[in-house]
Amino acid sequence: MDNLEGRRALVTGGAAGIGKAIAVALARAGADVVVTHLAHDPAPVVATIEELGRTSESFQLDARHSWDVDHVVAKAAEALGGGIDILVNNAGGLVDRQLVHQMDDQHWHQVLDLNVSSAFYATRAVLPFMPDGGRVVMISSLAAQDGGGTGAVAYATAKAAMDGFTRGLARELGPRGITVNAIAPGFITATPFHATHTPEPAQRAAVASTAVGRAGVPDDVAGAVVYLASGAASFITGAILDVNGGAHFR
């Protein structure tokens, strides 16, 4: 049921960390995969996908700008033979930790644009290329549920908005057989996000808070994406799937 042979996927922010793991996992399951990137080198992930015998290409994209998204999505669909069956909205980030009383307008809008507007722009651009029965997967965050760490109010707000976008879009696209779900990772190690923004003591505390007693890794998230993109998940839509090792229960 997790065979994605013949499916065509677009992963935004797919050159590093969780996005890279998702792109490779989709290719291992049989999909052709296009990735977008902004600052990270996409060559290694493209090479890995091609070594798996799948078609791949990369396009630089600033997902905060709708005109850039529209152009790149059209190029991605062309590279994939004219259509996109699976969209993974992975582009996003914390940007920086800022307390609300110190936060300026620019930071607020930058975080929301990077995480929420980017998902809206990409989804809107992909839908004309997506056949009925397609899959949209958002990469949300545990922060949407627990508020995140110190200085993460803007990020937590953005990811909570993404969860609402997921549920609303699931209702809108349900008649076309397109499912829309989100994955909410907890602490995932070996990613640029935590290497940049989370001090070592906070990382140790995050691991200690999990029921399973370990940090997550990008492949934990990637496996969940493959499941939601597969036929096994065809009756799941509007769901927020927690991938946090039991650090938080709804």
Q: How far is CA 180 from CA 92, 184, 190, in A?
A: 18, 14, 27
Q: Are 170 and 123 in contact (CB under 8 A)?
A: no
| DSSP code string of 4-51 | -TT-EEEETT-SSHHHHHHHHHHHHTT-EEEEEESSS--HHHHHHHHH
The CA distance from 88 to 36, in Å, is: 11
* 141, two tokens: 């965050």
Residue in 120, 155, 165, 227 annotated catalytic: 155
Question: Which distant-in-sequence residues (6+ apart) come within 8 Å of 5 by Cβ?
Answer: 29, 30, 31
Residue with tokens 């609303």: 168
The CA distance from 20 to 23, in Å, is: 5
155 is catalytic: yes
Catalytic residues: 155
